[in-house]
A and B are shown apart, each in its own frame.
Chain A
Amino acid sequence: MSALGGAAAGGEGINPTGTLVGIVILLVSIAATYALGFSIIPLIGIIIGGAFVGFGVHFVPVGGAPAAMGQAPGIATGVAMLAAGAGLAGLFGGAWAFEATGDFAIAVAGGAVGGGLMMSITCMMVNATYVFAMGIPAASGKVAKDPITGDTFPEYKSQGTEGHGLPFISFFGGVIGGIVTGLGGTLIYLALLGIYETGLPVIMQAEPAAIQPLAISLAGIFAIGFFLVNAVLAAYNITGTIEGPHDPKFKRVPRAIIGCAVASAFCGFISMLIVLNTGM
């Protein structure tokens, strides 16, 4: 029961009514896109990219305020914020790679590696701070043994805390999270860039080459916006802190994927309306 006397909400389950409403919104967005004469391929790219971002955020080990006092494991900042930092670093790399090579696969891989590199450096420096400056070894509060290295944690957990630092499984989760969010963000950017590169010259009646900087900037701004929408949705699904893929909260990930796909579909449809040719 909740504090207000109603049935308990949240948890790991998927709400069938909510999911149904979400799927209807998703299908309506796709249908509306098609009805207005747009190709639905870029929208599918945006939806997949959004789902990747929502999925990747759940890997990032975030301890929030308790982690800043060594009271809980993870990185001492907010879920959406850290994921955005990693994903946007990936987006930077992906956009640059696409500019230089024009190859879709290289750009997406470049975005993924950019996000992963940012997270690997950040996670390493977090552990360096805990170990070298604070004298605190890493210990998980959610599992007794690291699933990858086999290190045991209960005896390394200081009294009165839920653990601290970044055990290897959390570091691994952080890097995977950076890779997946970087990949998703770049996918969204490339889908939007394709729409604006073809749509803007038509409605502005200008040469494609002259419109290119505007198309890139618009796609970049919208990609950042999409990224934050999906990262914040995933953060709400996590509710507070998460240690990484071994955390029981990770089981909530299907709900986030559905939510992010629906939000991305609707936002994607809105972002396409900018280049809607009304003939005016």
Chain B
Amino acid sequence: MEEIVLGIGITALAGAFATVAGAAEDTESDIGSQGDPNSQVQLAPQMGYIHRIFNKAISGEPPAYGAWCAIGAGVAWALMQVNFNPALAIILGSVIAVFVQGVYCTSGYLGRTASLAKFQQPVYIDIIKSLLSVTMAHAFVAIFCTVAMCHLMATALHHPFALPLLGLVWGIALGAAGSATGNPFYGKERQYQNQKFGAGVPISASGNIVRYAEAGQRSSLDNGWFTTKFAGPASGICFGLIVFLELWRTVLFEKMVAGWGAIIVGVILILIFTFIDRWIEVWGRKTYGPYTAAEEASS
């Protein structure tokens, strides 16, 4: 019984770490413009819209975070092997991973922006100076929380994978959850704030991203401020739910029904989320209604 209570406590803590990691990951990727919406940041100068948005996408978020979390977890694991305190080892591992992220961001911005020279897009050094530290700070929170969560899984919940391997697995899952949930909000609601609310961006408007703020030109810091209102917390909830429920069903139900308990609970959870998703879809259709009459649309 004591083991189960401890397991539930660890599960809750890991879920909380995952929630913070998801929120920080999405905000970092929106400030740095790393996910799929970055296609528009890259496209805009080619359509004649010069901007001051950070532009650092080299790979997608999942492999990038897989690499950074694996580096953080790997260094932390190595330090723990030589008897470093786990908290200190995780912090040092995350710091080293964040330096790798900083190098990646700098080369990403310089390389991507320099490739747009023929379209008169300047390389703004002040953008690197002002935004690099902000993305690194958010990446530190995301990497630290993910590595700490993996450490809990490895030591307290006795998952068979070694810490670096857990860092890679959950880093990729973190990037996948964050980019899936957060990208549309940054891509549509923020980059195309000049388009009508409640409709997709017409393909003809591609590249015409919003470049001006209330005063002066829009900075990527403004994008971080905006996306933390929904995309960041939503990504956090998404990743937090994934981690929490995956651990919860295993810790509590694994030994029931001859080992099939966790699987049965997993299937029930999938059905519950399917029901919620369908409810959201129907609610959206009823609340917003069709854009055109059915006959007109089909004609």
Give chain A's interface residues, CB within 8 Å of chain B: 64-71, 75-78, 81-82, 84-86, 88-89, 91-93, 95-101, 103, 106, 109-110, 113-114, 116-118, 120-138, 144, 149, 151-152, 154-168, 171-172, 175, 213, 216-217, 220-221, 224
Query: What sequence of 0s and 1s flags, for each residue 249-277 of chain B, a beta carbon within 8 Å of any chain A beta carbon?
Result: 11000110001101100110110011011
Quote the shortest CB–CB distance from A61 to chain B (angstroms).
10
Q: For B36, what are the chain A residues with a Cβ–Cβ distance below 8 Å?
A: 64-65, 67-68, 76-78
Do A124 and B200 have beta carbons less than 8 Å apart?
Answer: no
Quote the shortest CB–CB distance from A192 to chain B (angstroms).
13
How many Å lie between the Cα of A93 and that of B187 in the bound state? 33
25 examples of A-B residue contacts, CB within 8 angstroms: A69-B40, A70-B187, A70-B200, A76-B180, A77-B179, A77-B180, A81-B62, A81-B175, A82-B180, A88-B172, A92-B166, A92-B246, A96-B160, A97-B263, A114-B246, A120-B274, A124-B276, A125-B238, A129-B182, A129-B234, A138-B285, A144-B298, A152-B294, A161-B200, A175-B274
Do B269 and A224 have beta carbons less than 8 Å apart?
Answer: no
Q: For A106, what are the chain B residues with a Cβ–Cβ distance below 8 Å?
A: 259-260, 263
Quote the shortest CB–CB distance from A38 to chain B (angstroms).
24
Assess A95 versus B161: contact at CB under 8 Å? Given A69-B37, A113-B266. Answer: yes
Quote the shortest CB–CB distance from B194 to chain A (angstroms).
13
How many Å lie between the Cα of A95 and that of B39 in the bound state? 37
Q: Chain A residue with minimal CB distance to B62? A: A81
Residue of B40, B245, B284 contacting most chain A CB atoms (<10 Å): B284
Majority DSSP secondary structure for residues of B touching A: helix
Give chain B's interface residues, CB within 8 Å of chain A: 35-37, 39-40, 60-63, 158-162, 165-166, 168-170, 172-173, 175-177, 179-189, 191-192, 197-206, 230-231, 234-235, 237-238, 241-242, 245-246, 249-250, 254-255, 259-260, 262-263, 266-267, 269-270, 273-274, 276-278, 280-281, 283-285, 288, 290-294, 296-298
Do A131 and B281 have beta carbons less than 8 Å apart?
Answer: yes
Quote the shortest CB–CB distance from B153 to chain A (angstroms).
8
Do A168 and B181 have beta carbons less than 8 Å apart?
Answer: no
How many Å lie between the Cα of A250 and that of B249 in the bound state? 33
Do B270 and A120 have beta carbons less than 8 Å apart?
Answer: yes
How many residue pairs link A and B with beta carbons under 8 A? The number is 308
Assess A69 versus B281: contact at CB under 8 Å? Given A82-B180, A122-B177, A129-B230. Answer: no
Quote the shortest CB–CB distance from B188 to chain A (angstroms).
5
Q: For A152, what are the chain B residues with a Cβ–Cβ distance below 8 Å?
A: 294
Quote the shortest CB–CB distance from A179 to chain B (angstroms).
8
Do B187 and A217 have beta carbons less than 8 Å apart?
Answer: no
Q: For B188, what are the chain A residues with a Cβ–Cβ distance below 8 Å?
A: 68-70, 134, 136
Do B270 and A116 have beta carbons less than 8 Å apart?
Answer: yes
Q: For A110, what are the chain B residues with a Cβ–Cβ distance below 8 Å?
A: 250, 262-263, 266
Do A68 and B200 have beta carbons less than 8 Å apart?
Answer: no
Do B263 and A109 have beta carbons less than 8 Å apart?
Answer: yes
Do A221 and B165 have beta carbons less than 8 Å apart?
Answer: yes
Do B285 and A156 have beta carbons less than 8 Å apart?
Answer: yes
Assess A159 versus B291: contact at CB under 8 Å? Given A68-B188, A117-B245, A171-B274. Answer: yes
Do B181 and A117 have beta carbons less than 8 Å apart?
Answer: no
Q: For B274, what are the chain A residues with a Cβ–Cβ distance below 8 Å?
A: 120, 171-172, 175
Quote the shortest CB–CB distance from A234 to chain B (angstroms).
15
Do A122 and B175 have beta carbons less than 8 Å apart?
Answer: no
Do A76 and B187 have beta carbons less than 8 Å apart?
Answer: yes
Q: For B273, what are the chain A residues with a Cβ–Cβ distance below 8 Å?
A: 117, 120-121, 123-124
Q: For B296, what are the chain A residues with a Cβ–Cβ distance below 8 Å?
A: 155
Quote the shortest CB–CB distance from A67 to chain B (angstroms).
7
Q: Chain A residue with minimal CB distance to B170? A: A92
Quote the shortest CB–CB distance from A34 to chain B (angstroms).
30
How many Å lie between the Cα of A157 and that of B200 in the bound state? 8
Do A70 and B175 have beta carbons less than 8 Å apart?
Answer: no
Residue of A99, A137, A213 contacting most chain B CB atoms (<10 Å): A137
How many Å lie between the Cα of A152 and that of B175 in the bound state? 33
Do B197 and A70 have beta carbons less than 8 Å apart?
Answer: no
Do B284 and A138 have beta carbons less than 8 Å apart?
Answer: yes
Residue of A64, A66, A92, A114 contacting most chain B CB atoms (<10 Å): A92
Do B285 and A151 have beta carbons less than 8 Å apart?
Answer: yes
Q: For A129, what are the chain B residues with a Cβ–Cβ distance below 8 Å?
A: 181-182, 184-185, 230-231, 234
How many Å lie between the Cα of A165 and that of B199 in the bound state? 11
Q: Chain B residue with minimal CB distance to A99? A: B160
Query: Which among B35, B160, B165, B184 is the interface contact of A130 at CB below 8 angstroms?
Result: B184
Do A136 and B284 have beta carbons less than 8 Å apart?
Answer: yes
Do B277 and A133 have beta carbons less than 8 Å apart?
Answer: no
Assess A159 versus B199: contact at CB under 8 Å? Given A69-B40, A95-B159. Answer: yes
Q: For B184, what are the chain A residues with a Cβ–Cβ distance below 8 Å?
A: 67-70, 76, 126, 129-130, 134
Assess A168 versus B278: contact at CB under 8 Å? Given A84-B176, A109-B260, A117-B246. Answer: yes
Query: Which among A65, A136, A158, A213 is the interface contact of B162 at CB below 8 angstroms?
Result: A213
